[in-house]
Amino acid sequence: MQIIIPFKTPSVNHLYYHMRNIKVLTKVAREARDKIVRQCEGVKHDLHERHLKVYVEIHEDWFFKNGKPRQADIANREKFIVDSIFKGLGIDDRWVWDIHMKKIDDCKEFALVRIEELRL
């Protein structure tokens, strides 16, 4: 199964704010999560209660004009993307046994996510 998130997803650093002693999801993060969930709802799959492998490609411009890479950690995006997609698909993410993240230098900003059954 392949899902494309057609926009830049927020990193963990931009997901929450603190109100008193409670972590609250930011409005931007809630809106992004809701878009991803709506996009995934109704997608047919047979991945319930199966060991899963997830591949995530983050496409965006990863370099400054001087050629140095931007200070952007793709691991900070993984949790939000996987949680949002799995919520939309109705799959418990505890079934993810293998995950791969990859940066792709691109002028367009999107994420490509592939989910496959893992053969043990």
Tell me the domains of the chain and their CATH numbers. 2-117 (3.30.1330.70)
* pLDDT score recorded for residue 98: 97
Distance, in Å, from the CA atom of 97 to the CA atom of 17, rounded to the nearest integer, reads 30
State the pTM of this model: 0.88
**23, 7, 103, 30: CA torsion to nearest 10:** 10
Return the percentage of the chain with pLDDT > 90, whole number.
77
What's the pLDDT tens digit per position in 18-29? Answer: 888 888 889 999
The residue-averaged pLDDT of 89-110 equals 96
Both structure tokens of 34: 């809701």
Nearest residue to 32 (alpha-carbon basis) of 55, 54, 15, 57: 15
* 34 membership: H or E segment, kind and range: helix 27-40
